[in-house]
Structure 1
Amino acid sequence: MSESIIQGKEPIYQRGIFTFSGSHLLNDLVTTGMVPALVVFYKNAFHLNYTQSTLVVLISYLTSSISQPLFGVFADRKPRAWLLSLGLFCSIMGLALTAIAPSFLWLLLFIAISGLGSGAFHPEASRATHLASGTNKSLAQAIFQVGGNSGQALGPLVVSLYIIHSGIHGLLWLIPVAILSLGLTGQILPWLNHKLESAKLDSKKQLKGNNNYVGATLLSSVIILRSWCQIGVVVFLPFYLHDLSIQQAEILSFVFVGAGALGTFFGGVFADRLGMKRLLVGSMLIATPFALVFPYVDGVWSVLVLLVFGFSVLSSFSVSVVFMQRMLPKNIGLASGLAIGFGVGAGGIGSVFMGKISDIFGVTTVFTILSILPLVGALIAVFLPNDRKEKKQVA
């Protein structure tokens, strides 16, 4: 059948999965992709210090991270498919309007609109992916998350190849992109509305089991540490590699997050074989030595280290979403909001904290802190429930 790409008890709905993945790419391109990369431009345009500069990232991530679990709770009670379209539109339009922000406060307001749009988009998009995944949850989430991670990777590249030449006003070209996004998501809404109605009548569409709040808390901690590491590298790389041009530094950011997008896909593919807990622990442990050695290498070696570092530390991205949904089977929207929103959005809080450290101790100290975060995350992940054992019991 053309509607599926995987054969099984219930195949993946191809059109839906790639629509959600494509819309995820657009959303994360402008939020988690471009916003951190634009910090250096906002800093120069509004004459900000490091703390004020990272406040832009904080507002973006806080509005997204705080709102996502809330939108997720509301979605669990009454799903609202139209938030998929409206959320994506606002996330893109909000960033576009920063091009004409008359002051720093207006800049933060437009960034907040973009963040709230992202917060509304993610729970509905993740739920829709869950409904379209059939019996291939990990693979479907991997495809969905690769879209988001690809957007994060392309964000710094767009900034380095376009915004660096056009200036901040070049962001106005995102307005037609926001309008086109309505068409991308609007065409799938009839199917999604039908699927949501069917899911209410078919209890088999819901994951079974009781919520594991301790496991969800531990997993959220791992996701937060991973997010601090990811956002810290993207935000502070241009400042750390001060001997490189902004364009060169942004390209290195693309290498890091781009490798992470590749790792996200392969992590989802191999999750069913290795187990989600093993993948989480293993990926963070593998990332640790490369995180530790990065501050001491340069040239080609820095590119190679960033490749492996990004690939390994972000390979658990899609897996953590599925794992969180298994931790909170009675609240799929909340689980998605925590895994994609609150946990990832906490990276904004970490960026401001690290910005303050940079103002006091210098950027080098920040990279020293970033280098130990994967190891701490791996140690916490060891205490997560054994998903392979649970899977055997269910079977």
Structure 2
Amino acid sequence: MTDNTMAAGSAPAAAPISSGQASESAASANTTTFAVILSLSFCHLLNDMMQSLVPALYPILKDSYALTFGQIGFITLAFQCTASMLQPVVGMYTDKKPQPYSLMIGMGFTLVGLLLMSRADSYPTILLAAALIGMGSSVFHPEASRVARMAAGGRYGLAQSLFQVGGNMGSAAGPLLAAFIVVPHGQQSIVWFSAAALVAMIVLFQVGHWYKARRAVSKPAVRKAAGTTGAAAPALSRRRVGVAIAILVALLFSKNVYSASLGSYFTFYLIHKFGVDVQDAQLYLFAFLVGIVIGTILGGLVGDKVGRIPVMWFSILGALPFALMLPYANLFWTAVLAVTVAIIMASAFSAILVYAQDLLPGRVGLVAGMFFGVSFGLGGLGAAALGEIADHAGIEAVYKVTPYLLLLGLLTAFLPRQASLAR
């Protein structure tokens, strides 16, 4: 495939489009525009890097403000629930009225949240800052996912994986940056990362130009050829589509609640059980998050070749035996098992998202908003619930109970297997 420049496909919005121009535009749309996808992935990296600084701050905030595990969980809930509740709304709105420059505006919310978090001196202010960062995600993810699919040229799994892996890399970088910058220099050092938000806003402004130009030449027939309306609608009743969506949500629930146990509390678990210091615990968390990056890339590549459903089967049930062993392992094997679980579980997300987009053709923003939102929301609810369990039964109990949630992966057996969905 040939890479297009960021300005590829641009044309004056007011100019009439001939059949030859439409054919040329459709052909261009059917190539994978890696410049756009990689720009989105880079901004996703910066976005999630900044967001991942919030959980990386937890040990500092816990000591500075004498917070309980339950209060830590509610910080995660405040951050993820704003993203969860607003993302489907943003997705539905932009399905009808796409907003090319909304990506840049969403990054502005993250910038304000970061600045406030760096100066927060009370628990309510911390909650407000976390909520603002969540609002940034709610605007960024649905439209960025739509643009990634528009630039995919039919390689939807690869495009979503490349987009998602940027976020995973950003999440992985957060603890590393926290270990070497935030932990030594304290909460106020968060302000230094506002520069990343400004860089992302500049890049997203350019992506907005490409998006606006592409839409200007995309008549309905061209949009269909470009894949922005998705695959042909599968011959499923509304009830079966609803059941399939519910199953996908259940799969995300099992995956994300278990991921929340590692993402939010893994450092506390390592400190409590093995006596490692905060910096070393952040490095182990970094290794876990690198595993998520690897799994995301592999899941997208394999899903395009063998189908979405096999990837879902492997991703959720395949992680179960390793998750069951983790609470009984020594420090070395705890790290190995955590990374293994991360690689296997992360492979499912792009498969779930693309499968859902094929179930609901033409609703790319809604699906992206709903599933990114559900992902954030379930993780937030899971983090809050797991914090309460840790306060009452101990942090080790969390890692003995949560693996059984992965048994919900058996619901994959009830997903429709039409050819248009299984590919």
Aligned counterpart in structure 2 of residue 209 of structure 1, from 233, 239, 244: 233
Cα separation, 1, equivalents of 2:197 and 2:29:
37
Q: Which residue of 1 aligns with 2:376?
A: 344
Cα separation, 1, equivalents of 2:413 and 2:215:
36
Within a 5 Å distance, the mapping from 1:63-142 to structure 2 comes to: 63-142=82-161
Q: Is the 8 A contact 2:317 2:406 kept in 1?
A: yes
Q: Which residue of 2 aligns with 1:317?
A: 349
Q: Is the 8 A contact 2:81 2:380 kept in 1?
A: yes
Cα separation, 2, equivalents of 1:8 and 1:293:
49
Cα separation, 2, equivalents of 1:365 and 1:140:
38
Q: Which residue of 2 aligns with 1:13?
A: 33
The change in CA–CA distance for 1:309 and 1:23 in structure 2 (over 3 A counts) is: same
Q: Which residue of 2 aligns with 1:227?
A: 256
For residue 64 of structure 1, report the CA deviation from its aligned partner.
Answer: 0.5
Q: Which residue of 2 aligns with 1:247?
A: 279
Task: Tell me the alpha carbon deviations over residues 92-151 of structure 1, each in whole angstroms, 9 at most, x when there is no partner.
Answer: 431232110131111111111111111000001000101111111111111101111111
Within a 5 Å distance, the mapping from 1:138-217 to structure 2 comes to: 138-199=157-218, 201-202=220-221, 203-204=223-224, 205-207=228-230, 208-209=232-233, 212-217=241-246
Percent identity between the two aligned chains: 30
Cα separation, 2, equivalents of 1:163 and 1:41:
9
Cα separation, 2, equivalents of 1:75 and 1:24:
19
Cα separation, 2, equivalents of 1:348 and 1:179:
27
The change in CA–CA distance for 1:354 and 1:102 in structure 2 (over 3 A counts) is: same
SS at match of 1:218: helix
**What is the Cα-based RMSD across aligned positions, in Å?**
1.9
For residue 28 of structure 1, report the CA deviation from its aligned partner.
Answer: 1.3
Matching of residue 30 in structure 1 with residue 62 in structure 2: no
Instruction: In structure 1, list runs of 5 or more residues that go unmatched.
Output: none
SS at match of 1:134: coil
Cα separation, 1, equivalents of 2:260 and 2:31:
35
**Which moves more between the two structures, 107-116 or 194-203?**
194-203
Task: Tell me the alpha carbon deviations over residues 214-270 of structure 1, each in whole angstroms, 9 at most, x when there is no partner.
Answer: 211110111122111112112111221221111111211111121111110011001
Cα separation, 2, equivalents of 1:138 and 1:117:
25
SS at match of 2:243: helix
Instruction: In structure 2, list runs of 5 or more residues that go unmatched.
Output: 6-26
Cα separation, 1, equivalents of 2:4 and 2:311:
30
Instruction: Tell me which stretches of 4 or more aligned residues in structure 1 moved more than 6 Å.
Output: none
Matching of residue 381 in structure 1 with residue 418 in structure 2: no
Using the size of structure 1 for normalisation, the TM-score is 0.93
Task: Tell me the alpha carbon deviations over residues 272-292 of structure 1, each in whole angstroms, 9 at most, x when there is no partner.
Answer: 222111101111121111101
For residue 388 of structure 1, report the CA deviation from its aligned partner.
Answer: 4.4
Q: Is the 8 A contact 1:259 1:311 kept in 2?
A: yes
The change in CA–CA distance for 1:386 and 1:187 in structure 2 (over 3 A counts) is: same
